[in-house]
Amino acid sequence: MNETSEKKPLLTRAKGAVLHRIRQWAKDLLLFRILPGEYRRAAKQPIQPGKVVFLENKEPTVPESFEVLYERLSCVPELDVEFISLGETRVRLRQYYRNCIEAVRDLATAQCVFLNDASNVVSCLPLREETTVVQLWHGCGAFKKWGMSTADLIFGGSRDEILRHPFYKNLSLVTVSSPEVVWAYEEAMVLQDEPGVVQPIGVSRTDVFFDEAYLKKSRNKLLSVVPEAKGKRAIVYAPTFRGRVAHAEAPTALDIEAMKRAMGEDAVLLIKHHPFVRELPAIPECCRDFAFDVTHDIAINELICSADAVISDYSSLVFEYSLFGRPMVFFAFDQDEYADWRGFYYDYDALTPGPVCTSTEEVIQAIAESAESFDSSEVDKFRDRFMGACDGHATDRIIEFALGREILEKSLKG
């Protein structure tokens, strides 16, 4: 290796370090000075009564975590309901910063703001006392660690980095699925010193699971997307991503061909990857009449309504799915590695309400056994413990907290 070739990696690393410092400087400038300043200027205008803003970080359209509440409030004539997407990860950094500036100008006159994810944008603002901020979150229960709970783990940043630009300040209410998990959200969001902010009043997005019309519509959608599912057992495989958010990868350990050989006559496999995963693993050509990737075709809420059984790993969807009292199988082939990488709030094997498998053969056996005989008592206990506040009326309680009894009653009439 000559001297020139040895220098190239050093130059690349040096360039990367400089770019990182520039991005960090720009982020500090945005969150410490620009956004608070823009907010203060816009906040000279009075609060607009009835102005409600749903703030989404990434998705261009209203996500499932907002959908029920957004539709309810949009039917109230007295409310001015807005949806804003910052476009994070979808647009260039400069445009994202512009979007943030426009958003905080809008937030400055809002009566109520709804979030569904971490927000350093809202957290950096000198928020007006008249504005209520509700964090709906996008999942239920408490499974894999996140937020401050991952501080100094491989997945997370350092405690100092997380505190430098907080993600969970200015919150009036954080809604969770049961009293059991309040402690975990307080830890992750650094809200231990703000008792009463995290409240087990239920998760809005779960209300649809108690709506017979929605359940029927979801089943019909599945059959329209995957006609091969008619008359067969629908097995959903919904793993979480691996790696960091920016470079999320899907696991590929499940042997789809072996699954088809074992149950292809009686079942279909519906694969739903995490939305952070950009490159979806290909389904083998010989299995495309058995396995179907519905990641971009069917929302997870719709999909689990029609699932006869779910195969997951460390995804929080198992909390929502427990509301149906159906079989769950946990394919945890990399459990030790994942625990070191990110960690869990509870002992994994004690928490999971179903068999934990480390090979495809074990998954196949567990799915087959659940079809022959299934005792739902373990799932029922899991549901009561982690989903006790999800009863089909969570949205009602959230509306009453955020906007009052009168708006709740008008939303019910709409």
User: CATH number for the domain including 355?
Assistant: 3.40.50.12580
Same domain (yes/no): 235, 320: yes
Same domain (yes/no): 200, 232: no
pLDDT score of 100: 98
Same domain (yes/no): 112, 35: yes
For 81-138, what is each residue's pLDDT tens digit?
Answer: 999 999 998 999 999 999 999 999 999 999 999 999 999 999 999 999 999 999 999 9
Is 16 contained in some domain?
no
**What span, in angstroms and rounded, lies between the C-alpha atoms of 120 and 105?**
15
Average pLDDT over residues 233-239: 97
Domains contained in the chain, number: 2
Is 2 contained in some domain?
no
Residue 11 in this model has a pLDDT that exceeds 80 = no
pLDDT bin (cut points 50, 70, 90) of residue 4 is low
Is 25 contained in some domain?
yes
Give a three-class secondary structure readout of the chain. CCHHHHHHHHHHHHHHHHHHHHHHHHHHHHHHHHHHHHHHHHCCCCCCCCEEEEEECCCCCCCHHHHHHHHHHHCCCCCEEEEEECCCCCCCHHHHHHHHHHHHHHHCCCCEEEECCCCHHHHCCCCCCCCEEEECCCCCCCCECCHHHHCCCCCCCCHHHHHHCCCCCCCCEEECCCHHHHHHHHHHCCCCCCCCCEECCCCHHHHHHHCHHHHHHHHHHHHHHCHHHCCCEEEEECCCCECCHHHCECCCCCCHHHHHHHHCCCEEEEECCCCCCCCCCCCCHHHCCCEEECCCCCCHHHHHHCCCEEEECCCCHHHHHHHHCCCEEEECCCHHHHHHHCCECCCHHHHCCCCEECCHHHHHHHHHHHHHCCCCHHHHHHHHHHCCCCCCCHHHHHHHHHHCHHHHHHHHHC
Same domain (yes/no): 245, 166: no
Is 6 contained in some domain?
no
Same domain (yes/no): 68, 166: yes
Residues of the domain holding 230: 216-386
Give pTM, 2 decimals.
0.90
**What span, in angstroms and rounded, lies between the C-alpha atoms of 117 and 149?**
16
Residue 190 in this model has a pLDDT that exceeds 70 = yes
Residue 1 in this model has a pLDDT that exceeds 60 = no
pLDDT score of 409: 96
CA atoms within 13 A on the CB side of 39: 22
Same domain (yes/no): 174, 224: no
Whether the Cβ atoms of residue 143 and residue 184 lie closer than 8 Å to each other = no
pLDDT score of 241: 87
Is 5 contained in some domain?
no
pLDDT score of 173: 98
Bridging pattern class, strands 198-199 and 233-237: unpaired
pLDDT bin (cut points 50, 70, 90) of residue 343 is confident
For 28-52, what is each residue's pLDDT tens digit?
Answer: 999 999 999 999 999 999 999 999 9
pLDDT score of 102: 98
pLDDT score of 162: 85
Percent of the chain past pLDDT 70, that is, above it, reads: 95
Q: What is the mean pLDDT of the chain?
A: 93
Same domain (yes/no): 185, 41: yes
Residue 6 in this model has a pLDDT that exceeds 60 = no
Residue 7 in this model has a pLDDT that exceeds 70 = no
Same domain (yes/no): 238, 311: yes
Residue 3 in this model has a pLDDT that exceeds 60 = no
Same domain (yes/no): 113, 258: no
Is 12 contained in some domain?
no
Same domain (yes/no): 203, 273: no
Is 1 contained in some domain?
no
Percent of the chain past pLDDT 90, that is, above it, reads: 82
Q: For residues 20 and 250, which has the higher predicted lDDT (pLDDT)? A: 250
Same domain (yes/no): 224, 312: yes
pLDDT bin (cut points 50, 70, 90) of residue 22 is confident
Same domain (yes/no): 227, 82: no
Residue 2 in this model has a pLDDT that exceeds 60 = no
Residue 315 in this model has a pLDDT that exceeds 70 = yes
Is 68 contained in some domain?
yes
User: CATH number for the domain including 405?
Assistant: 3.40.50.11820
